[in-house]
Amino acid sequence: MRTSAYGPTLCEARVHFHDGTSAVFNRYLDFEGTDYRFDPNIDDYDASLK
């Protein structure tokens, strides 16, 4: 998974189990609370993989 994000955001995922049931999980992610700094070289590299 790749993402471009900033600030808090809600992440949701539906998980399908082998027995046919599924569940939805959610969690808030806070990208400002990390030491991450935007690097345009990484962004260009990710774009080249598409």
pLDDT in the model for residue 15:
95
Predicted TM-score of the model (pTM)? 0.45
Q: What is the average per-residue pLDDT within 32-46?
A: 70
Instruction: Give the closest residue to 1 by CA, choosing from 9, 13, 10.
Output: 13
H or E segment to which residue 10 belongs: strand 8-16
Helix (H, G, I), strand (E, B) or coil at 45: helix
Residues 5, 31: contact at Cβ < 8 Å?
Answer: yes
- Confidence class for position 14, pLDDT limits 50, 70, 90: very high
